[in-house]
Amino acid sequence: MAILLLFMLLLLIGSMFAEPEYGSTPITAAFSVIPIEGSIVGGRTFGDEGYDHDATLKYIRALADNPSDRGILLFMNTPGGTIYHSEELRLALLEYKEISGRPVYVYMAEMCASGGYWISMAADHIVANRMAITGSIGVASTYYDTSELFENLGIRTVVIDTGEHKSMGAIGVEITPSQEAVIQNIIGEYDKFFVELVSDGRNIDLQATKKIADGRIYTAQQAFELGLIDELNNWDTALSDFEALTGVSAFYPDLYASTSFWDMIAKISAGIFPKSEADLAISAIEALPRGVPLAIAPELIR
């Protein structure tokens, strides 16, 4: 009864909290510095102050019709992310350019690899810090064969489906060689699209692009010599150059993911109701990334 009353009280308090607001758009002439930091994925994680996909898309779309806006300078520090979210952001930037006719520039800080580089193909100009890491042009799909883990935990997964590949990737089920071939075909198609994006976006011959798009990472100097970026410079210079280009100063929207009231409730609840070893294992597996991610260099993730 006491726990029930506690949760009723929390529900009442929660109803008093508004959803986090997105950063406002400029009301005087300015360009927006939009941070793309952390993994490029959807949703928000408790305690994560990194990339917020929905907020970023909403903000960019609002800028397109804002007469006070003069352009977008992306501050990028990301190891990559999923194909879906990277492509959504790239398309949103292209739509912004088409509607507004304003410039989009990219600045690469410590890293801008894989999905980050994918997004950069929407930019008119790419500047990278000399110490930046970029590239990782390629696609990787990760599935988790948890069949042995489940066997050790005494859990048997029973899947009833209508075809050999229908339950592919199901938790606790072994992945077969033919299923691996299906996945390989899928990522091969996405990889082809990525290579063509780079070839078109950087005006590099397709065959030459294929040679450098083998998933490896590049230093900023190497990327510059290969034509993958336009300029080596620091952030202050990139910022002042964009100010000179647009004739206005920077506007910094608040687009970082914030912890909602219900996120806090979820964390508190997890502490009140402890889980068994099997529950913890299943929860951890279910929390692993889904979908087809772009290749992310492990050495770039801290």
| Region of poorest pLDDT, from 54-58, 222-226, 268-272 | 268-272
Q: What's the domain range around 240?
A: 27-139+205-271+289-300
pTM of the model: 0.76
Res 287: pLDDT: 52
Residues labelled as active-site residues: 114, 166
pLDDT at residue 103 is higher than 80: yes
Residue 78 lies in a domain: yes
Residue with the bigger pLDDT between 178 and 276: it is: 178
CA distance 124 to 107: 11
Residue 74 lies in a domain: yes
pLDDT tens, residue by residue, 223-262: 999 999 999 999 999 999 999 999 999 999 987 655 454 4
CA distance 302 to 296: 12
Residue 222 lies in a domain: yes
SS3 250: strand
Instruction: Burial-class residue 22 by CB neighbours within 10 Å (0-12, 13-18, 19+).
Output: middle
Residues whose CB falls within 8 Å of the CB of residue 145, separated by 6 or more in sequence, listed in order: 174, 175
Residue 96 lies in a domain: yes
Residue 194 lies in a domain: no
Number of domains in the chain: 1
CA distance 19 to 261: 9
Residue 200 lies in a domain: no
Res 181: pLDDT: 86
- Looking at residues 92-119, what average pLDDT do you find? 97
Residue 14 lies in a domain: no
pLDDT above 90: percentage of residues in the chain: 53
CATH of the domain at 38: 3.90.226.10
| Amino acid at the residue 227 | G
Dihedral, CA atoms, 71, 200, 42, 150, nearest 10 degrees? -160
- For residues 114 and 143, the answer to whether their CB atoms sit within 8 Å is no
Residue 150 binned pLDDT confidence (cut-offs 50, 70, 90) = confident
CA distance 180 to 210: 23
Res 43: pLDDT: 65
Res 152: pLDDT: 77
Residue 245 lies in a domain: yes
